[in-house]
Amino acid sequence: MAKIDDLLNKVDSKYTLVHLSATRAREINDYYHSLGDGMGLYLRPLVESTSNKPLSIAFEEIAAGKIVVQKAGDARNHIQDLIEQVEELSDGDAPSA
């Protein structure tokens, strides 16, 4: 079982920990409920756990470093970099007039 102090070292605040773990626990719960459907829409738990509770599994995944927080600003910067790369490529391939 992951200790709260260890989990807080993996994220920047207790609010991030709550949001991240609750979101992942819902995904794990949905995975277990969809097993009979055979659709494979959800990602299975990323760690081997003796617990059968989704929140405990989510905490163990965070403690193991399998779940990482990506800030919205980081994602925006990444998207902006990709847009700039596409624009550079399209400028180089444009026919000359």
Residue 80 within a domain:
no
- What distance in Å separates the CA atoms of residue 25 and residue 43, rounded to the nearest whole number? 11
> Cα separation of 22 and 59, whole Å?
9
Number of domains forming the structure of the chain: 1
- Measured CA to CA, the distance from residue 53 to residue 23 in angstroms comes to 14
- ∠ Cα 59 60 66 (to 5°): 100
Token code pair at residue 90: 């399209």
Asked whether residue 12 is assigned to any structural domain, the reply reads yes
* Tens-digit pLDDT string for the chain (97 aa): 778 888 999 898 999 999 999 999 999 999 888 887 766 677 888 899 888 899 999 999 999 999 888 776 666 777 788 888 888 877 655 555 4
96 part of a folded domain: no
Note the pLDDT of residue 79.
79
Within-domain flag for 55: yes
Classify residue 31: in a domain, yes or no. Answer: yes
What is the distance of C-alpha 29 from the center of its chain? 15
The answer to whether residue 62 sits within a structural domain is: yes
Range of the domain at 54: 4-69
